[in-house]
Amino acid sequence: MSHEPENYLTEHSVRSWLLTTDHKRIGILYLLSIVVYFAIAAAAAAMMRLQLLQPNNDLVLPETYNKLFTLHGVLMVWFFLIPSIPAVLGNFVIPMMIGARDVAFPKLNLLSWYLFNIGGSCALYAVICGGVDTGWTFYTPYSTTYANGHVVTMIMGVFIAGFASILTGLNFIITIHKMRAPGMTWFRLPLFIWSLYSTSIILVLATPVLAITLLAIAVERLWGVGIFDPNLGGDPVLFQHMFWFYSHPAVYIMILPGMGVVSELITCFSRKRIFGYHFVAFSSLAIAIVGFLVWGHHMFVSSQSVYAGMVFSILSFIVAVPSAIKVFNWTATLYKGSISYDTPMLYAFGFIGLFTIGGLTGLFLAAIAVDVHLHDTYFVVAHFHYIMVGGMVLSFMGGLHYWWPKISGRLYPEMMGRVAAAVTFIGFNLTFFPQFLLGYLGQPRRYHAYPPEFQVFHVLSTAGASILGVGYLMPLIYFLWSLKWGKRASDNPWQATGLEWQTTSPPLRENFEEIPIVTKEPYDYRPEDDPEHEPQAQPQHA
Amino acid sequence: MPEPDAAHAHQFESFEQQRDADTTGMWTFLATEVLFFGGLIVCYTFGRFSFPAAFEAASHHLYVGYGGPNTAILLCSSFTMALAVRSAQLGRRKALVGFLIATVLFGIGFLVVKGFEYHTDYVERLVPKWHFHWDGPDAGHAELFFWLYFVLTGLHAVHVTIGVVLLSVVACLGWKGKITAENHMTAEISGLYWHFVDIVWVFLFPLLYLIGHR
């Protein structure tokens, strides 16, 4: 410890953490926060799975069950998934990847973290006071008029956290536009940057609509007047339009960053340049743009006109195209690559398989006739968990393993990592695959009880959830273990090309001794017989 | 190469880079704001299309006598704001502070007029739910109109208030000589914000007061 060179972790005081403007430290603050929210939301899921072990279980009251799935949804969506890759990994690596000393607005970055946690505290306060049972979607008129519980407090939590999202998105957009190192042209940017740039556009343009919608609900609930109240001639479906105008793009906030991570992992661990760089880059933007035009597919059975439904259905098929482009390009990148099966790559493989299943079942749901049958069933639950968990959580874990040596300066135990990745994959599939079958057979979502013939699927699902829980706990334990006992990481343990690997592990306080000059495309990996990789940049005075 | 005397924050390489980042940041923030107000304007459009008669009748209860002069006040404030930014660019300290104070006074004037208008609305029992009273048909939809009116203008007034505070701070900075011809970004991006607040009103005024007005 004594002769350790100065880096961003050197200073230890609490004050130096709480008042930090260093993007790397803010990334770690976010990591600590989202682990807490994730643990609470996962505990809620565990309670639900236990309740569903038997057809008419009385482990929790029906009202409690409603509160559990609301808690699970709200925390997982707004306090884990949305900030997961952008605010943790994005904050940590974006400035380093583009060769900058920090994000464009470091103080705003810290403010985001405080807003995020004030929002999170509001949401948790609502839970402690008795909870909310509206579901994470806050559908009117239930949420405005009939629901008991602390809807307004919960909504304020999400509202405040929304501003954290907006500020993070704004910071990333400006950072990527204005802070790139000399020579870092747009088409030399790593694909992770492209995906987070697209994500940020959604954060900045969609979140304010959610904010105003939630504000309208709060006003309506408090004063009893409002545009969503059918008694006054308002329209609850208007709420659904406005909610999904945010929340469908938000689904892409919850997957685009994962796609960016996987693009990094696939190239690095197959030692090949990405296949079709421009296609992968522009498909991120295409998803962000077309993703704004598909919200109506959540409302095929909500009295939306047939013609609107048809248009939304077609657009939903179209938005699958750029996702498919990515999957094909990743697969083509693997072709004749020199593949190694390190932990991050195992997560990336898991991502590709599960995301493909999640995406294709999304097409089932985009077809109007099929959706009428499957709407609001476990099929939908399974579909979006394949994207959110199978996609985003797996890529988050992959990215965390990949950048862990950079973040902590230590190596995690590789064998344990591989076992955990396998356990997660098995547990996940056992949890959610039976739910496709359940949904197809007609079990609606959000019910605390069910007919006895569904029990076998629910038992399988609960068994899977406990395996999945082990898959989550293992990394938590060995990451913490590695902080003290892990082997010291070299600057570039994966022999990767990105700029973030050309500084020390852990990085210096301002990332680089001097700003590097970028001379190459991002993924200039050499084939297996030449283990030397070509870094993307060279020192200024080479 | 950066001028040695132009100070920039540690994360930037040059002053130009910082200036670019600040301006683009404000424009991006304004894009967020457009969507923020946009959501409510969608609600308003929905109401206007669904209940045209009630909304038109309700809008007749708003006084162009308040809204019109307020529009003029805000347009004048944008003019003085533009002059303030110009003075900052030219490094004229006193002119900068003077024009900023004028802008702040216009802003306060707007809020005062708005306050009187809200008071009139209150006296005429147009505040939804509080003690709303409506003689014509379709009282529910008229109430909806006033709900939208209060939320829209209220949010706008909040933005004006923030702008007044912001510009007062900028005026203080200008007085202390912190804003110079080389380093006038604070004035410029505050100006962008102020013009945005102005433009929102330019949309709200016809939407709420003028459509169907005779």
Amino acid in the structure at residue A252: Y
Cβ <8 Å between B10 and A101: yes
Phi, psi of A153 (to 5 degrees): -60, -45
Average pLDDT value for residue range B6-22: 85
* Cβ partners under 8 Å of residue B170, min gap 6: B100, B179, B186, B187, B190
Q: Quick check: A176 and A98 in contact, CB under 8 A?
A: yes
pLDDT tens across A38-92, in order?
Answer: 999 999 999 999 999 999 999 999 999 999 999 999 999 999 999 999 999 999 9
pLDDT band at A4 (very low <50, low <70, confident <90, very high): low
Q: What is the secondary structure of A255-269 as a DSSP string?
A: THHHHHHHHHHHHHH
Compare CB distances from B32 to A177, A208, A213 and report the shortest one's residue: A208
- Which carries the bigger pLDDT value, residue B7 or residue A277? A277
Q: Does B213 score more than 80 pLDDT?
A: no
Q: What's the CA gap between A259 and B195, in Å, rounded?
A: 39
- Is residue B214 predicted with pLDDT exceeding 80? no
pLDDT digits (tens, 9 = 90+) for B46-87: 999 988 999 999 999 999 999 999 999 999 999 999 999 999
Quote the pLDDT of residue A426.
Answer: 97
Q: What is the pLDDT of residue A406?
A: 96
Amino acid A224: pLDDT: 80
- How far the first Cα of chain B sits from its last, in Å, is 61
Q: Is A216 on the interface with B (CB under 8 A)?
A: yes
Identify the residue among A8, A112, A170 best suited for mutation to test binding to B, counting B beta carbons within 10 A and taking the highest.
Answer: A170
Assess A230–B contact: CB distance below 8 Å, yes or no.
no
From residue A334, alpha-carbon distances to A344, A369, A424 in Å are 15, 37, 23
Residue B148 and residue A227: Cβ atoms within 8 Å?
yes
Contact B128 A510 (CB under 8 A): no
* pLDDT > 70: percent of chain B: 96
Please give the Cα distance from B209 to A193 (Å, whole number).
46
What is the arithmetic mean of pLDDT over A282-291?
A: 96
**B96/B187 Cα distance (integer angstroms):** 9
User: Which of A94, A172, A174 to substitute to test the interface with B, most B CBs within 10 Å?
Assistant: A174
Find chain B residues with C-beta within 8 A of A166's C-beta: 32
| B140 interface with A at CB cutoff 8 Å | yes
In this model, does residue B34 exceed pLDDT 50? Answer: yes
Asked which of A200-214, A319-333, B174-188 is least confident by mean pLDDT, the reply is: B174-188
Q: How confident is the model over A249-272, as pLDDT tens digits? A: 999 999 999 999 999 999 999 999
- What percent of chain A has pLDDT above 90? 86
Q: How distant is the alpha carbon of residue A31 from its chain centre? A: 12
Contacts of B10 in chain A (CB under 8 A): 101-102, 510
User: For residue range B138-176, what is the model confidence (pLDDT) as tens digits?
Assistant: 888 898 899 999 999 999 999 999 999 999 999 999 999
Instruction: Identify which of A112, A125, A134 has the alpha carbon closest to the alpha carbon of residue A153.
Output: A125
Instruction: State the Cα–Cα distance between residues A200 and A170, nearest whole angstrom.
Output: 7
Contact A225 B36 (CB under 8 A): no
* Stretch A380-397: mean pLDDT: 96
Residues in chain A: 542
Count of CA atoms in the C-beta half-sphere (13 A) of A6? 6
Chain segment A374-385, per-residue pLDDT in tens = 999 999 999 999
Residue A23 has pLDDT above 60, yes or no: yes
> Is A300's pLDDT higher than 60?
yes
pLDDT at A308 over 50: yes
**Top-confidence residue, A527 or A357:** A357
3-state secondary structure B171-203: HHHHHCCCCCCCCCHHHHHHHHHHHHHHHHHHH
Give the pLDDT confidence score for residue A358 in this predicted structure: 96
What is the structure's pLDDT at A242?
A: 94
Asked if B25 and A174 count as a contact pair (C-beta separation under 8 A), the reply is yes
Q: What would the pLDDT profile of A447-481 be if each residue is shown by its tens digit? A: 999 999 999 999 999 999 999 999 999 999 999 99
| Residue B152 with chain A: CB contacts under 8 Å | none
B159 touches chain A (CB under 8 A): no
% of chain A at pLDDT higher than 70: 96
Q: What is the mean pLDDT of chain A?
A: 93
Is B25 in Cβ contact with A104 (below 8 Å)?
Answer: yes
Q: Which among A204, A211, A227 has CB closest to B31? A: A204
Question: What's the confidence (pLDDT) of residue B197?
Answer: 96
> Are the CB atoms for A339 and A269 separated by under 8 Å?
yes
Kindly state the DSSP code that residue A84 receives in the 8-state scheme.
I
Of residues A529 and A154, which shows the higher confidence score? A154
Of A204, A219, A233, the CB nearest to B28: A204
What pLDDT, in 10s, does the model give residues A179-201?
A: 999 999 999 999 999 999 999 99
B144 part of contact set with chain A, CB < 8 Å: yes
Q: Closest Cα to residue A119, out of A166, A172, A85, A68?
A: A166
Confidence of residue A540 (pLDDT cuts 50, 70, 90): low
Q: Is-contact A21 A106, C-beta < 8 A?
A: yes
Peptide bond preceding A506 in cis form (omega within 30 of 0) = yes
pLDDT digits (tens, 9 = 90+) for A417-442: 999 999 999 999 999 999 999 999 99
pLDDT for A71 equals 96
Whether residue A183 contacts residue A518, with contact meaning beta carbons closer than 8 Å, is answered with: yes
**Looking at chain B, which residue has its C-alpha nearest residue A213?**
B39
